[in-house]
């Protein structure tokens, strides 16, 4: 009897729930050489929904070049990642002279870690590229030329695209200008809705005006039913009030809900009766206890101001600049409180938007338990 839930990675069927509307929108963009920015709170399921749409497109013969810019250190890293992600099947099926013409000596075939052929940079730009921005332009233009001669859609997906701003001054504007000149390609950009992404898609940002879609919470009643049915299909019964209770308890973020569901299901496999709200409280408490070391480390590295702000929010305070709040949590000034709040939001510890919410419900509970 398998495990019904997965966490800590991109999920695909049968672990994937809902998001038909978002998937269809992405597919439309991917098929039609359009562009879209996907944004949302961390761990809500952005990468998973992109992967789902990408698999569908591939099953129709489309080509998806997907990179994650999160851990890339410089523009050269982006260039390498894009080339490496070009599917070899597509390269093989493309006329050689077209490829050579498109990339004008910049790119060649080479083995990857598993010995499979992938595209890579050759010559000067392979090592210390003196002009990685020009190289990025030439790569995307090359792909664009090949896509222009092909009936199948070619999609470039840049997950965590806001990182371009971190690795290069005006990296977002550079990318945007190249995107504008490569109209045969479809583009999907994704990022968490924190400071950088908002700057990029805001009224003064280079990505302003591009279609956008928020990956928000999955409808609570849908998810509750889905969780109960998945768990049941793996041999665990639930009382009817249990799964709505679970979703409400974990808060709106998909990954935390799934993490709790996974722990509850496991307890369910170990015990006789059906899963009840009590089982959920037990699983929740176990996760908080399991995470103690991790949370303790995060907490110990945090400034006093941030801790005070978090304590207040964990206690349910919603207005952080009132005199009541400042004196109760011993905060020096309302500007310090606001700054702490903004930094915590930029780091993804607080959810975007108002009122303030600690994104991780287990961390919030852990903070409440600290005296």
Ligand X SMILES: Nc1ncnc2c1ncn2[C@@H]1O[C@H](COP(=O)(O)OP(=O)(O)OP(=O)(O)O)[C@@H](O)[C@H]1O
Residues forming the site for Mg ion (CB under 5 A): 46-47
Cis peptide upstream of residue 211 (ω within 30 degrees of 0): no
CB of 38 to Mg ion, least distance (A): 10
Q: Which positions from 173 to 202 touch ligand X by CB under 6 A, shown as an x/- string?
A: -------------------x----------
**From CA 125, how far away is CA 89, in angstroms rounded?**
25
CB of 43 to Mg ion, least distance (A): 8
Q: Which stretch binds ligand X (CB under 6 A): 42-50, 99-107, 173-181, 298-306?
A: 42-50
Distance of CA 14 to the CA centre of its chain: 19
Q: Does 225 bind ligand X (CB under 6 A)?
A: no
Q: Does 42 bind ligand X (CB under 6 A)?
A: yes
Residue list 244-263, contact with ligand X (CB under 6 A): 254-255, 258
Contacted by 345, from ligand X, Mg ion, none: CB < 5 to 8 Å by type: none
| Site of tokens 């908002």 | 198
Instruction: Specify the 3-state DSSP secondary structure of 275.
Output: strand
- Check: CB of residue 40 under 8 Å from CB of residue 213: no
CB of 277 to Mg ion, least distance (A): 31
Q: Does 44 bind ligand X (CB under 6 A)?
A: yes
- Check: CB of residue 140 under 8 Å from CB of residue 185: yes
**From CA 126, how far away is CA 231, in angstroms rounded?**
49
Contacted by 299, from ligand X, Mg ion, none: CB < 5 to 8 Å by type: none
Return the number of the residue (40 or 312) whose C-beta is nearest Mg ion. 40
Return the number of the residue (12 or 149) whose C-beta is nearest ligand X. 12
Contacted by 268, from ligand X, Mg ion, none: CB < 5 to 8 Å by type: none
Contact with ligand X (CB under 6 A) among 1, 2, 9, 116:
9
Return the number of the residue (23 or 182) whose C-beta is nearest ligand X. 23
Residue list 69-128, contact with ligand X (CB under 6 A): none
What is the number of other CB atoms lying within 10 angstroms of the CB of residue 24? 12
Q: Which stretch binds ligand X (CB under 6 A): 3-11, 120-128, 237-245, 336-344?
A: 3-11
Token couple for 255: 């990954």
**From CA 47, how far away is CA 128, in angstroms rounded?**
31
- Position with the least CB separation from Mg ion: 47
Structural element, H or E, at residue 187: strand 185-192
Q: What is the DSSP string of 277-341?
A: HHHHHHHHHHHHHHTHHHHHHHHHTS-HHHHHHHHHHHTT---TTSHHHHHHTT-S-HHHHHHHH
Distance of CA 334 to the CA centre of its chain: 32
CB of 157 to ligand X, least distance (A): 12
- Position with the least CB separation from ligand X: 45
CB of 157 to Mg ion, least distance (A): 11
Please state at what angle helix 334-346 crosses helix 304-314, rounded to 10 degrees.
Answer: 80
Q: Does 8 bind ligand X (CB under 6 A)?
A: yes
Binding residues for ligand X, rule CB under 6 A, total 22
Contact with ligand X (CB under 6 A) among 48, 79, 162, 243:
48
Q: Does 25 bind ligand X (CB under 6 A)?
A: no
Dihedral sign of CA atoms 237, 240, 244, 250 in order: negative
Residues near ligand X, by CB under 6 A: 6-11, 15-19, 42-48, 192, 254-255, 258
């Amino acid at each position: 009897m398998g495990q019904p839930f997965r966490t800590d990675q991109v999920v695909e069927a049968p672990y994937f729930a809902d998001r038909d509307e978002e998937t269809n929108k992405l597919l439309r963009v991917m098929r039609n050489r359009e562009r879209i920015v996907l944004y949302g709170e961390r761990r809500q399921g952005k990468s998973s929904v992109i992967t789902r749409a990408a698999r569908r497109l591939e099953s129709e013969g489309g080509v998806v070049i997907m990179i994650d810019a999160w851990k890339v250190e410089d523009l050269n890293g982006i260039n390498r990642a894009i080339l490496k992600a070009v599917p070899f099947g597509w390269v093989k099926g493309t006329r050689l002279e077209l490829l050579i013409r498109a990339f004008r000596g910049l790119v060649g075939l080479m083995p990857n870690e598993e010995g499979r052929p992938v595209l890579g940079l050759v010559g000067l730009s392979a090592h210390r590229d003196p002009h990685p921005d020009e190289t990025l332009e030439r790569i995307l233009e090359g792909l664009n030329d090949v896509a222009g001669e092909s009936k199948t859609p070619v999609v470039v997906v840049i997950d965590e695209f806001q990182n371009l701003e971190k690795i290069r001054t005006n990296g977002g504007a550079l990318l945007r200008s190249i995107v504008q000149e490569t109209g045969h390609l479809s583009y999907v950009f994704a990022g968490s809705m924190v400071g950088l992404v908002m700057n990029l898609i805001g009224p003064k940002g280079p990505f302003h005006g591009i279609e956008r879609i928020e990956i928000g919470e999955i409808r609570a009643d849908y998810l509750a039913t889905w969780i109960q049915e998945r768990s049941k299909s793996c041999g665990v019964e639930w009382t009817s009030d249990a799964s709505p209770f679970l979703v409400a308890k974990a808060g709106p973020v998909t990954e935390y809900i799934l993490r709790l569901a996974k722990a509850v299901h496991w307890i369910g496999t170990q015990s006789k009766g059906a899963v009840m709200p009590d089982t959920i409280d037990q699983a929740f408490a176990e996760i908080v206890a399991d995470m103690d070391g991790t949370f303790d480390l995060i907490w110990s590295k945090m400034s006093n101001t941030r801790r005070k702000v978090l304590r207040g929010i964990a206690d349910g305070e919603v207005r952080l600049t009132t005199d009541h709040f400042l004196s109760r949590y011993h905060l020096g000034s309302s500007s310090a409180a606001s700054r702490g709040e903004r930094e915590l939001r930029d780091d993804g510890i607080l959810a975007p938007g108002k009122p303030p919410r600690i994104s991780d419900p287990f961390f919030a509970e852990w903070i409440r338990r600290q005296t």
